[in-house]
Amino acid sequence: CPSSVKKQLAELFRESLKATVPSEPDVVPLVEACVANKNGVKHADYQCNNAMSLFPIIKEKQPEFRNPRSLGEGIAKNLPPSEMVESCFVAGSGYVNIVLSKKWIAQSLQKMLTSGIHSWAPRLPVKRILVDFSSPNIAKEMHVGHLRSTIIGDTIARMLEFCQPECLIRRNHIGDWGTQFGIIRTGGNINECDIGDLQEFYKTSKSKYDSDPDFKTKARQSVVKLQRGDPKYREAWHKICEVSRAEYNKVYRRLGVHLEEKPESFYNPYIPPTLKKLEKLGLIEDSDGARVIFVEGVDRPLIARKSDGGYNYFSTDLASLWYRLNIEKIDWNIYVTDVGQWQHFDMLFKAFRRAGCRDGSINVGWLPKDANEYPICTHVGFGLVCGDDGKRFRSRSSETVRLVDLLDEAKSRCKDTLLERDNAKGWTEEEIDKTAEAIGYGAVKYADLKINRSTNYTFSFDQMLNDKGNTAVYLLYAHARICSIIEKSGKDIEELKKNGSLVLDHKDECTLALHLLQFTEVFVESCSNLLPNKLCEYLYDLAEIFTKKFYSNCQVVGSPEETSRLLLCEATLTVMRQCFYLLGIEPVDKL
């Protein structure tokens, strides 16, 4: 199983700590990569920071250590010899510094070049993963919040897939079973209409629903009729779903996202048996005719069935989680929605935990009491999408922004820029179109992914399409530049991978190589917190190091170090492409 530099060093320090402080056999090695200071100076590559916190614990038992620094020296002395380490020395009040061997770094990169980037993928302790994302609601517009869910969810799925679990499901939990059907149905007859009309129709009907109590009752009754299987209502419902689905698929196709659909309606037959099981476990109570479940730490209960007998968002999520745990045997269930739904999922998971552990006995098929034990459920929340004005994102002309329009605009802006450039003069129409799509859609995705998902995100075409800042455009340029260096050399890279050797000498070559080698540890961090922004940061740094350091100071083509430097370029391309793939961005070879 491949392991990151950090983890390999931690293993060495574990040995050394055991030998140095035998009375503390369980101490966890604290190893960190070093970052350069303000002046860009870095004295070591990694650092072990245990001495300072360990010293007060052991000073009585081991008086030979007079202070943290002398303990640090002990740890450094006991470090087992390894080909990874060039030198090890103590600094300040007891930091044990490591400088990695350049030869080892070079060999590790070369190994990756021959065995492929997959040899750097960590393994996960879970077998079956489900990522519930995108999940728009029929008839209502697929809004920018769903765009965020689609982009973040797909990236998370790609990241986890890279670790090769036994099974990974991208689940589209389409909201096709709720009030909006009743609203539309009661609003009038729906015949052939595209989603635009359907949304208009929904909007007018929704205002009637909000203002007219009779309309509201009728709408609610239609939902109950639909849920009970009335054929007339089913037919109308089918039509609405088809129209909506066609529209979603347009967005998915453009974004290169493939979801497997199991809409809310799928779980309808599973709701009554799930509620019965919960009832048997004594979780369900009556509250004014509604069936409810109380959970720890929340004063209002979760409504499992409404007083009119209808099912709601909660009912379906109870049944769908039951289905995922028991039929699909999922060990890690991930839900990607806006942070506003935090409490919904908190209550859902708590109800399942209550069911899983009743009166001290463990019931399988629900969730374990300890939230960190498998099967695990995680809610991945994200913030609002705002416009330049800091308010909720809207288009100039209307309340909402149609996703297709947004993607169209990103593409057409990129196309305009390309057409102005001399470089693209000889390109075919198709080349221009494909490149504009790659940059435009890539820019929309990257702008969203690069910020910590839990914060609000400001949507701005001008910012995301800037070719100088931290944008997909800048990154794609860096990628194209490396492609052109390799092309200009006229060398056969596959041949070089077999027979050439990578040697690190110049300090900028070393910086680039070490950053490449740190891919795995950044990836692991990004994966374990489900934070794609960490990966974006890494990719941006990679492009910066390549462009501003390596490329500016190390001549590649025509230099005596050409072979080695071409291999370093190829390693950079490989890691960059993997990052692009994980972020769902299509790389372009020329720009």
Which residues sit at the interface with ligand ARG, rule CB under 6 A? 132, 135-137, 173, 175, 317, 320, 335, 337
- The CA distance from 429 to 421, in Å, is 14
Q: Which two tokens stand for residue 273?
A: 């048996």
Output 179 or 471, the one with its CB closest to ligand ARG. 179
C-beta of 341: minimal distance to ligand ARG in Å? 6
**Are 51 and 10 spatial neighbours (Cβ–Cβ below 8 Å)?**
no
Q: Which is nearer to ligand ARG, 133 or 540 (by Cβ)?
A: 133
**Distance separating alpha carbons of residues 153 and 133, to the nearest angstrom:** 5
Kindly state the smallest distance separating residue 168's Cβ from ligand ARG, in Å.
17
Smallest Cα–Cα separation from 84: which of 10, 182, 180? Answer: 10
> Smallest distance from the beta carbon of 100 to ligand ARG, in angstroms?
44
User: Quick one: 293 or 418, whose CB is closer to ligand ARG?
Assistant: 293
239 contacts 198 by C-beta, under 8 angstroms: no
Nearer to ligand ARG, 17 or 152 (CB): 152
> Minimum CB separation from ligand ARG for residue 269, in Å?
17
CB 570 within 8 A of CB 497: yes
**Which residues have CB under 8 Å from 567's CB, separation 6+?**
109, 110, 113, 496, 497, 500, 501, 502
- Taking the complex as a whole, the smallest distance from the CB of residue 335 to ligand ARG amounts, in Å, to 5
Look up residue 548 and give its DSSP letter: I
Closer to ligand ARG at the Cβ: 130 or 536?
A: 130
Q: From the CB of 381, what's the least distance to ligand ARG, in Å?
A: 11
Q: What is the per-residue burial (b if ≥16 Cβ within 10 Å, else e) of 110-146?
A: bebbeeebeebbbebebebbbbbbbbbbbbbbbbbbb
- If the CB atoms of residues 154 and 317 are measured against ligand ARG, the closer one turns out to be 317
Residue 142 or residue 569: which is nearer to ligand ARG going by CB?
142
Query: Closer to ligand ARG at the Cβ: 246 or 362?
Result: 246
Q: Rounded to an integer, what distance in angstroms lies between the CA atom of residue 369 and that of residue 486?
A: 55
Do residues 121 and 314 make contact, with C-beta atoms less than 8 angstroms apart? no
> What's the min distance (Å) between Cβ of 328 and ligand ARG?
13
- Backbone φ and ψ for 511, nearest 5 degrees, come out as -60, -45
Q: Where are the alpha helices (DSSP H) in 450-531?
A: 461-464, 472-489, 493-499, 507-517, 519-528
Q: Which amino acid is at 386?
A: C
**Which residues 6+ apart lie within 8 Å of 236 measured at CB?**
185, 190
Asked if 20 and 74 count as a contact pair (C-beta separation under 8 A), the reply is yes
Distance, CA of 586 to CA of 494 (rounded, Å): 23
Kindly provide the residue ranges of all beta strands, DSSP E only, lying in 106-257, ordered along the sequence. 128-132, 167-172
Least distance (Å) between residue 152 CB and ligand ARG = 13
Instruction: Compute the least distance from the CB of residue 147 to ligand ARG, in Å.
Output: 12
The sign of the torsion formed by the CA atoms of 504, 510, 515, 517 equals positive
User: For residues 149 and 578, which CB has a smaller minimum distance to ligand ARG in the complex?
Assistant: 149
Phi, psi of 336 (to 5 degrees): -110, 105
> Closer to ligand ARG at the Cβ: 6 or 140?
140
Number of Cβ atoms within 10 Å of the Cβ of 231: 7
What's the closest the beta carbon of residue 363 comes to ligand ARG, in angstroms?
Answer: 22
| Structural contact between residues 333 and 324, judged by C-beta atoms closer than 8 angstroms | yes
Closest approach of ligand ARG to the CB of residue 135, in Å:
4
Contact predicate 185/409, CB 8 Å: no
The residue among 90 and 255 lying less far from ligand ARG, judged by its C-beta, is 255
Q: How far apart are CA 324 and CA 171, in angstroms?
A: 11
Rounded least distance, CB 524 to ligand ARG, Å: 27
Minimum CB distance to ligand ARG, residue 158 (Å) = 19
Residues 174 and 225 sit within 8 Å (Cβ to Cβ): no
The residue (of 173 and 450) whose beta carbon lies closer to ligand ARG is 173
Based on CB atoms, which residue is closest to ligand ARG, 177 or 441? 177
